[in-house]
Amino acid sequence: MATSPLPVQKRAWDTRERILAAAVTCLAEDGYAATTTSRIQERAGVSRGSLLHQFPSRDDLLIAAVQHLAIQRSGQVGVPEAAGTIDDAIEQIWLTFHGPLFKAALQLWAAAQHNPQLAAALRPPEHELGRHIRELITGLFGPEVVAHPAFPDFAPVLLASMRGVALTYTFEPRDHRSDPNLAAWKRLAHRLLDPQN
């Protein structure tokens, strides 16, 4: 029979969660280089000893943050119960490329280029997230649109295009809801995926 966690275990788990959440926030707001263990400790409101007990090195902490971030991002993009319109689907997918979780992921992707350990840690959760996003897309567009012969080509091109445009927001912040590409993606989706096509 399972027993409920001891108070000490619960406190340790809460501390770990606070540290990981602080690491993701620091990555999103301050960038990879400025995400130091001291900054994370301060933001998490924990002692140096508590942080080092949970994560002996910065790399250990950031690799754990990778896993934490992937879980959060997966939760952010929940699969809908029913499909909406093509326009709704495009808008919902575009939303996944904005906000602090995507910004934190960008920081880790860039840092992974020069950090093989971080790159190796990123691959499994990013592949899992990719699988989850494909499920999301299927749910958003619905079985009729997904069955269209053009959909297998359209979906990955849409994601790559959105990711590329979202990258430009790192140096040119603006309202993503009025991005002109949003209308272009919708037009293209209708041209390729409407049932009569």
What predicted TM-score, i.e. pTM, was given to this entire model? 0.76
In a domain, 121, yes or no: yes
In a domain, 106, yes or no: yes
Its domain, for residue 141, covers 7-193
Q: Give the CA-trace dihedral at 76, 77, 79, 84, to 10 degrees.
A: 120
In a domain, 111, yes or no: yes
| Section 137-159 average pLDDT | 93
Domain at 113, CATH number: 1.10.357.10
pLDDT in tens, 114-142: 989 888 888 888 888 888 888 888 888 98
| pLDDT surpasses 60 at 32 | yes
- DSSP designation for 170: G
| Section 160-181 average pLDDT | 94
Through-space distance between the first and last CA atoms of the chain, rounded to whole angstroms? 58
pLDDT in tens, 74-104: 666 555 555 678 999 999 889 888 888 888 8
Task: Provide the domain count of the chain.
Answer: 1
pLDDT confidence bin for 51, thresholds 50/70/90:
very high
CA distances from 74 to 116, 132, 134, 138 (A): 24, 7, 11, 15
In a domain, 2, yes or no: no
In a domain, 127, yes or no: yes
Helices (H), the chain: 7-30, 37-44, 48-54, 58-76, 86-95, 100-112, 116-146, 151-167, 180-193
In a domain, 102, yes or no: yes
In a domain, 1, yes or no: no
Read off φ and ψ for residue 27, nearest 5 degrees.
Answer: -60, -45
Helices (H), 113-169: 116-146, 151-167
In a domain, 79, yes or no: yes
